[in-house]
Amino acid sequence: MTTHDAIPARLAALKTATTLELKAQWRDLFDSEPPPFNRRYLESRLAYRIQELAYGGLKPETIRRLERLGEELDGGDRKKSRVRADQGRPIIGTRLIREWQGVEHVVTVTADGFEWQGRPYKSLSAIARAITGTRWNGWVFFGLRNHRRRPR
């Protein structure tokens, strides 16, 4: 059995590891304290790091190319490079479906915001308010974000 044969098993084990175990692995693999991000982030970064150590990382020319592309997008501004351009919005054209009091409501994601019943809206919260008559977090109403954070 080669060292590489154990990699798939290590990656699969990440899914069943506790958050405390993931954080311990982070300390071992990165030699630093884990960031306060969610479990999915820890799993994905640990999976990448395990493969990077076993198979090697990106080639230097690939890293330089990615850095050049990033600078073209953000002009070298480090603050901009940390902000997602889409701010986590669903892809344009995505249809969000929510049933409320027996009526199915379909919202389409547009380039400028959202469309519901043929009318444009800037936010999902405005649509949720129009549907329910009360204030809602639109992301929660349409199931795109949990209302309560999961305990760590």
Per-position pLDDT tens, the chain of length 152: 455 678 999 999 999 999 999 999 999 999 999 988 788 889 999 999 999 999 898 899 998 998 888 888 766 666 655 555 555 678 888 999 999 999 999 999 998 899 999 999 999 999 999 999 999 899 889 888 765 555 54
Which amino acid does the sequence have at 68?
R
Alpha helix segments (H runs only) across the chain:
7-16, 19-30, 39-55, 60-74, 78-81, 124-132, 138-141
- Distance in angstroms (rounded) separating the CA atoms of residues 112 and 103: 26
Distances (CA, A) of 130 to 47, 78, 89, 92, 96: 43, 39, 20, 22, 15
Whole-structure pTM value: 0.47
